[in-house]
């Protein structure tokens, strides 16, 4: 666990299991690593990414989130779109006044949280392509360019459900 936390704090790029699908992530405070993920996915640089929050208190410190909304959906298979208290906060992750935030209900993601830093969470795929339920289904170019791969076998999930700050579900 300590080694994983050390690698997170160093800005290493991870492929890891969540409670839904395999994720691609890094320390969200490491701008260089965040840019590397955007490049790996061939993602539009202006399209926001989501994060795994280190705690609910971290969410309340940095967003205007309603406590009942956070408690209802997190941890779980949801991404909450929450208004940032400071629009400039993590603006290289989301240039809007909102930030997508998850707390997956998953053992590996609890280790991520224990690092104390926000962590990028995005599906492991080229932008617009199918998400990964297994390591074997991940694009080989992506596999070769990450630092750490955590294999938990085949996952049966689908991407997280998006919940807007007003509590409404977004259909994707």
Cα 69 from Cα 21, distance rounded (Å): 23
Structure confidence at residue 170 (pLDDT): 86
Query: Residue 152 pLDDT > 70, yes or no?
Result: yes
Residues whose CB falls within 8 Å of the CB of residue 88, separated by 6 or more in sequence, listed in order: none
2-13 pLDDT, tens per residue? 999 999 999 999
The domain spans of the chain are: 2-163
pTM of the model: 0.94
Which residue has better confidence, 127 or 147? Answer: 147
pLDDT at 43 (0 to 100) = 87
Which of 56 and 172 is assigned the larger pLDDT? 56
pLDDT of residue 126: 87
d(CA 95, CA 105): 27
Q: Whose CA is closest to 49, among 36, 64, 65? A: 36
Binned at pLDDT 50, 70 and 90, residue 156 comes out as confident
Confidence of residue 90 (pLDDT cuts 50, 70, 90): very high
| pLDDT over 70 (residue 149) | yes
Q: Is residue 105 over pLDDT 70?
A: yes
How does residue 157 score in pLDDT terms, banded at 50, 70 and 90? confident
CATH class of 2-163: alpha beta
pLDDT at 172 over 70: no
């Amino acid at each position: 666990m300590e080694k994983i936390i050390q690698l997170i704090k160093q800005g290493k790029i991870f492929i890891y299991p969540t409670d839904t699908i395999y994720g691609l992530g890094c320390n969200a405070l490491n701008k260089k690593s965040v840019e590397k993920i955007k490049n790996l996915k061939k993602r539009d640089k202006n399209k926001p990414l989501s994060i795994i929050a280190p705690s609910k208190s971290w969410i309340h410190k940095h967003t205007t989130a309603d406590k009942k909304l956070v408690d209802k959906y997190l941890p779980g298979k949801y991404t909450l779109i929450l208004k940032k208290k400071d629009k400039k906060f993590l603006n290289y992750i989301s240039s809007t006044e909102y930030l997508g935030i998850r707390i997956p209900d998953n053992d590996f993601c609890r280790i991520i949280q224990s690092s104390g830093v926000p962590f990028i969470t995005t599906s492991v795929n080229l932008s617009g392509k199918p998400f990964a339920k297994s390591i074997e289904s991940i694009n080989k170019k992506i596999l070769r360019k990450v630092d750490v791969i955590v294999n938990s076998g085949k996952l049966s999930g689908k991407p997280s459900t998006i919940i807007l700050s007003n509590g409404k579900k977004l259909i994707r």
